[in-house]
Amino acid sequence: MFPGAAEYDLDVTVADEDVERLLSVGPADVSAASELTFARNVFVPLTTACRYTCTYCTYYDVPGEASLLSAEEVRERCRVGADAGCTEALFTFGDKPDARYTAIHDQLAEWGYDSIVGYHERACEIALEEGLLPHSNPGDLTESEFRRLREVNASMGVMLETTADVAAHAGGRRKTPGQRLNTIRAAGEARVPFTTGILVGIGEDWRDRAESLLAIRDLHERYGHVQEVIIQPVVPNERSDYDAPSTDTMRRVTAMARAALPAAVSVQSPPNLAPVGDLLDCGVDDLGGVSPVTDDYVNPDYAWPALEELRAVAEAGGVPLYERLPTHERYLPAEHRRDGFDGEPAPGSWLHERIPEALADGGVHGERFRAVARREGPLSA
Ligand SMILES: O=c1nc2n(C[C@H](O)[C@H](O)[C@H](O)CO)c3cc(O)ccc3cc-2c(=O)[nH]1
Ligand SMILES: C[C@H]1O[C@@H](n2cnc3c(N)ncnc32)[C@H](O)[C@@H]1O
Ligand code: MET
Ligand code: SF4
């Protein structure tokens, strides 16, 4: 059914009548959220080398320039983030760079790592040592890779982007909807609290948007692992001249996401790329990771708004703003949820013991994690 799905034993189904119903949903059909959340992160771009060449992306290297952050650089960036009060280390980087670049493979071997996954695992450990909770978004992974990385991650993610076969994903090596869906499935099998989403404006049509949201819903219904769905507008950059979708388009697609997904799943809008103030009444309840210390390396031309601006957005929308951890509350062990938590806890246990250990840490970092989880952090208002 989905392009590229034949290689996987994927049974994601989307009913035509559900697509039709979702296509008729607009902002008037959904309610505004009652609160707005965000996480404070430090972005650690392990490598800009990538096996893919998505035409909207400015992040990946041209061949010949591939390099990796060293373990010392990872530690230094994490330390800067922890000192600035961040709780999250965001590991977002090129997809399986060692599959394309022998220079990356050789560097990893010289440092004693079997693959980028092993080095990524070590980088997450360094983040934990420095008092941060890793959220990783390294691209397509297998179930066994998720099982390995979940031990050192508080949550992980991959953007579905779209279920459509778009020209933006052209080339010999490329993202396919089948592989992306399989990655989201594998994360569910491995019980990883998960972030996914769609990229709006890369050549997909309204039917594709509806189908993409319903495919995410189908996988979430099976595993219960989707904590948030990002509705991300494509933005122009020096490499590509995609038109950013209009505010009306973002309002409609955000409302469709809110209508398609269960209430427990957050709808996230990135405040440096989207007109978040105009999306609150369409169901946005989360602003994702915002960094006080690093650029958004994926979209470096789009600066993070200051916390004061986020507060102003929330105030104009008449909702309180709360800082959160990378792991959404319902996936945390019960002792780290608020007393008054009125959400639906996700069934079963989600986090490897190393994450609760970090939350229980006796030092300043553990104290900050627990304060943010209780919504008593310095930035909650
Ligand atoms: O799981 C993901 N998280 C992404 N995140 C993380 C996300 O915004 C939050 O950090 C999560 O909500 C976890 O708290 C980003 C954060 C940035 O600062 C910039 C870009 C992204 C992009 C993604 C992404 O594609 N997938
Ligand atoms: C990390 C995520 O960033 C998104 N991404 C990549 N390039 C762009 C762009 N030009 N505009 C908006 N989002 C982008 C993709 O959805 C990727 O999965
Ligand atoms: C820098 S893009 C985000 C990570 C990965 N390369 C992906 O596209 O999923
Ligand atoms: S969006 Fe991710 S996968 Fe695509 S080229 Fe950029 S870094 Fe690579």
User: Which token pair is 5?
Assistant: 């799905």
pLDDT tens readout for residues 194-221: 999 999 999 999 999 999 999 999 999 9
pLDDT (average), residues 43-66? 91
Q: What is the CATH number of the domain that holds 150?
A: 3.20.20.70
pLDDT (average), residues 20-43? 97
Calculate what percentage of the chain has a pLDDT beyond 70. 99
Is the pLDDT at 13 greater than 60? The verdict is yes
Q: Is 124 annotated as a binding residue?
A: no
Sorting pLDDT into bands at 50, 70 and 90, what band is 347? confident
Quote the pLDDT of residue 375: 93
Quote the pLDDT of residue 154: 98
Distance CA 340, CA 343 (A): 9
Distance CA 309, CA 38 (A): 13
- What is the atom index within ligand 2 of the atom nearest the CA of 242? 10
Distance CA 291, CA 90 (A): 10
pLDDT (average), residues 271-293? 97
Sorting pLDDT into bands at 50, 70 and 90, what band is 12? very high
Query: ipTM of the assembly?
Result: 0.97
pLDDT (average), residues 4-32? 95
* Contact yes or no for 79/145 (Cβ under 8 A): no
Sorting pLDDT into bands at 50, 70 and 90, what band is 381? low
Is the pLDDT at 176 greater than 60? The verdict is yes
Is the pLDDT at 36 greater than 70? The verdict is yes
Ligand 2 pocket, residue 53 CB under 6 Å: no
In a domain? residue 11 = yes
pLDDT (average), residues 297-309? 94
The pocket around ligand 3, CB under 6 angstroms, is made up of: 50, 59, 92, 94-95, 137, 139, 158-159, 298
Distance CA 240, CA 237 (A): 5
In a domain? residue 56 = yes
In a domain? residue 378 = no
In a domain? residue 381 = no
Q: Which residue has the higher pLDDT, 347 or 317?
A: 317
pLDDT (average), residues 136-157? 98
Chain centroid offset of residue 208 CA: 20
In a domain? residue 315 = yes
Q: Is 50 annotated as a binding residue?
A: yes
Count of structural domains, the chain: 1
Quote the pLDDT of residue 340: 85
110 CA to middle of ligand 1, Å?
30
Sorting pLDDT into bands at 50, 70 and 90, what band is 349? confident
* Per-chain mean pLDDT for the chain: 95
**Structural domain for 149, as ranges:** 5-373
Q: In Å, what is the CA distance from 303 to each residue of 12, 132, 271, 312?
A: 37, 23, 9, 17
Distance CA 377, CA 363 (A): 15
Under DSSP, is residue 338 helix (H, G, I), strand (E, B) or coil? Answer: coil
Sorting pLDDT into bands at 50, 70 and 90, what band is 342? confident
* Contact yes or no for 235/272 (Cβ under 8 A): no
Ligand 1 pocket, residue 288 CB under 6 Å: yes
DSSP per-residue codes, 160-213: -B-SS--GGG-SSS---HHHHHHHHHHHHHTT--EEEEEEESSS--HHHHHHHH
Quote the pLDDT of residue 140: 98
Under DSSP, is residue 143 helix (H, G, I), strand (E, B) or coil? Answer: helix
* Contact yes or no for 147/191 (Cβ under 8 A): no
DSSP single-letter state for residue 379: T
In a domain? residue 380 = no
pTM: 0.97
